[in-house]
Amino acid sequence: MRAFRWPLAAFLVGAMVVVVSAQQPGGRQGGKGGLSGQVLTNVALQEELKITEEQKTKLKAAAEKSGAGIKEAFKEAGGDKEKMTALFAKMQEDTAKAVSEVLTADQKARLKQVERQVSGVRAFGNDDMIADLKLEDGQKTKIKGIVDEYSKDVRELGGFGFGKGAVDKEKQAEAAKKREKLEKGAMADIDEVLNDSQRKTWKDLSGPPVADLAKIRAGAFNFGGTFGGKGKQTPKKD
């Protein structure tokens, strides 16, 4: 029996991405790794990027390698939160590099667009986006207020559906609808602040609408599935 199985590797890499990304409210878009780690495990994202079977095989190997590294990181950190954050950030960066070596130029470009769409309102709180849009000081102040208010409303909303032992899918779906409504309102408010040139820039940077944005977002919390498939993977014995 192998000491480190693929499902556990996928879970740990996915968890690493969410933990580190969640601690990146501002700064550069999506942190150093962005959604790169999710390319390893997020089926909806793989479909959006049109990942081939050959690429899936290479990405699976990268995930197993990263997962083994995370196992050692837990030992080294010894429960120290700051050490764990630093180690995970480093591994996220390494994972991003590994994924980049597998993706084509078109897939990398699309991944950046998807990252911006997934970030949604929060994309406008990132330094890169502020610079790309060439926002004036007055616009920065207004948009920061919109982003901060949206973030506050989402935090107060809660209801991600996580409880003891299981995920309440009904509550999760209800909360998702409420968050979607909040996001649409905030995006409309931001759109009013932008000028025509900035709106075009945002449209170019975010690209065509993602086929199923909700599934890509939800996939960030669905680590246990199969790689590039559906259902539950049965562990294999050597």
Q: 194: closest CA among 137, 143, 118?
A: 143
- Cα separation, 229 vs 10, whole angstroms: 13
Give residue 195's pLDDT: 98
Residue 49 lies in a domain: yes
Residue 45 lies in a domain: yes
Give residue 166's pLDDT: 58
The owner of tokens 């997020």 is 42
Helix axes 53-77, 81-102, angle to 10 degrees: 160
Residue 232 lies in a domain: no
Residue 226 lies in a domain: no
Give residue 232's pLDDT: 41
- Longest alpha-carbon distance in the chain: 63
Q: How many domains does the chain have?
A: 1
Q: 122: closest CA among 11, 209, 217?
A: 217
Residue 1 lies in a domain: no
- Cα separation, 233 vs 215, whole angstroms: 19
Judge contact between 7 and 66, C-beta under 8 A.
no
The owner of tokens 């990263």 is 66
Judge contact between 32 and 92, C-beta under 8 A.
yes
Residue 224 lies in a domain: no
Tokens of 60: 């699976």
Judge contact between 99 and 39, C-beta under 8 A.
yes
Residue 200's identity, in one-letter code, is K
Q: Is 106 helix (H, G, I), strand (E, B) or coil?
A: helix
DSSP string for residues in 7-34: HHHHHHHHHHHHHHHHT-SSSSTTTTTT
Give residue 58's pLDDT: 92
Q: 128: closest CA among 17, 36, 206?
A: 206
Residue 230 lies in a domain: no
pTM, entire model? 0.74
Q: pLDDT, tens digit, for every residue of 59-74? A: 988 888 777 767 777 7
Q: Which domain holds residue 80?
A: 6-219
Residue 172 lies in a domain: yes
Give residue 231's pLDDT: 39
Query: What residue ranges of the chain have pLDDT lower than 50?
Result: 1-9, 11, 15, 17-32, 161-162, 222-238
Q: Is 183 exposed, middle or buried (0-12, 13-18, 19+ CB in 10 A)?
A: middle
